[in-house]
Amino acid sequence: MINNILKGIQAYTGALALISKLKLWKYFLVPIIISVITAAVIALSAYGLSDNIGNFIARIWPWDFGKDTFTWISTFIGAIVVISIGLILYKHIIMALSAPFMSPVSEKIESYLTGVERHNHRKTSFNEQLWRGIRINIRNLAKELLITIPLLLLKFIPVVNIFSTILLIMLQAYYAGFGNMDYTLERHFNYRDSVKFIRKNRGIAIGNGLVFILFLIIPFIGVILVLPMSVTAATIKTVELLQKDNLLNNTKPVV
């Protein structure tokens, strides 16, 4: 698992150069706009809601002594809750809406890596790609929230909250990598087989997603580069895995 996580991370090293070499930046324009707008809306909402959630939690402390301290802690926890849920919503929104734009990028990268110009794979339209992106991300959103909420509750328990934070980051990373890998898998697998493939290679997904999350820490630049870099890195590793398992059905090599 750890080895695969590292492989998922290492794939980012050649991502920027490959984007420039294949002249892919134009394909990222709309997804970048979606990313910036979504991030701005969620950030503003998080700023306004953290205090409200903190004050709501603070009401459970009935005594006057320690009230200020408990309120501060509650506000901090409220901020973590809002940021965690905000990140979940952010990544699933941009991944779902960017699917029709990321699929052509993934295909061009696959052509370059495999030396195959014309692919013998599932043909999907813009609407079909959008619908698959929405379907997968709604599924992942529901599953992620179902696991995230109990993990957030564990933050009230000293020491245990350290482990819950690690698990929370790993969970966020897995589903981020999941979405990035599916841009390639949608050409080769149906919905169920794509899910099985990513479960089998969850370490790669986590590695890709960890860097995805780290990008979001970088002010402004992060939300601009996160999709181009993470999708390119995910495509590189996903194509490699497909080739390793002899699962690519490509024809007509590039002359």
Which range, of 139-143, 171-175, 179-183, 244-248, averages the lowest pLDDT? 244-248
Cα distances (angstroms) measured from residue 227 to each of 24, 45, 66, 198, 235 = 12, 22, 44, 19, 12
pLDDT of residue 66: 65
Nearest in space to 140 (alpha carbons), one of 163, 173, 169: 173
Query: Which pLDDT band holds residue 255 (cuts at 50, 70, 90)?
Result: very low
The closest of 225, 250, 179 to 20, measured between CA atoms, is: 225
Task: Give pLDDT, residue 233.
Answer: 95
State residue 254's pLDDT score. Answer: 34
Q: State pTM to two decimals.
A: 0.81
Question: How remote is the C-alpha of 43 from its chain's centroid?
Answer: 17
- Name the 3-class secondary structure at 68: helix
Can you tell me the mean pLDDT for 155-180? 84
pLDDT at residue 198 above 80? yes
How high is the pLDDT of residue 218?
86
Provide mean pLDDT across the span 171-195: 90
Q: What is the pLDDT of residue 216?
A: 85
The pLDDT tens digits of the residues spanning 102-158 come to: 888 998 999 999 887 655 555 666 777 777 888 888 888 888 888 888 887 776 677
Condensed to tens digits (0 to 9), the pLDDT of residues 57-106 reads 667 766 766 667 767 777 777 777 777 788 888 888 998 888 888 888 99
Q: Using CA of residue 205, residue 196, residue 96, residue 170, what is the dihedral sign?
A: negative
CA atoms 218, 221, 227, 229: torsion sign: negative
DSSP 192-210: HHHHHHHHHTHHHHHHHHH
The 10 Å CB-count burial string (b at 16+, else e) for 242-254 is: beeeeebebeeee
Picking from 154, 167, 172, the residue whose alpha carbon sits closest to that of residue 217 is 172
For CA atoms 221, 224, 230, 236, the dihedral sign is negative
Which range (51-60, 100-109, 212-221) has the least confidence? Answer: 51-60
* Cα–Cα distance measured from residue 144 to residue 171, given in angstroms and rounded to the nearest whole number: 7
**Per DSSP, what are the bridge partners of residue 119?**
250
Helix, strand, coil share (%) of the chain residues, nearest 5:
80, 5, 15
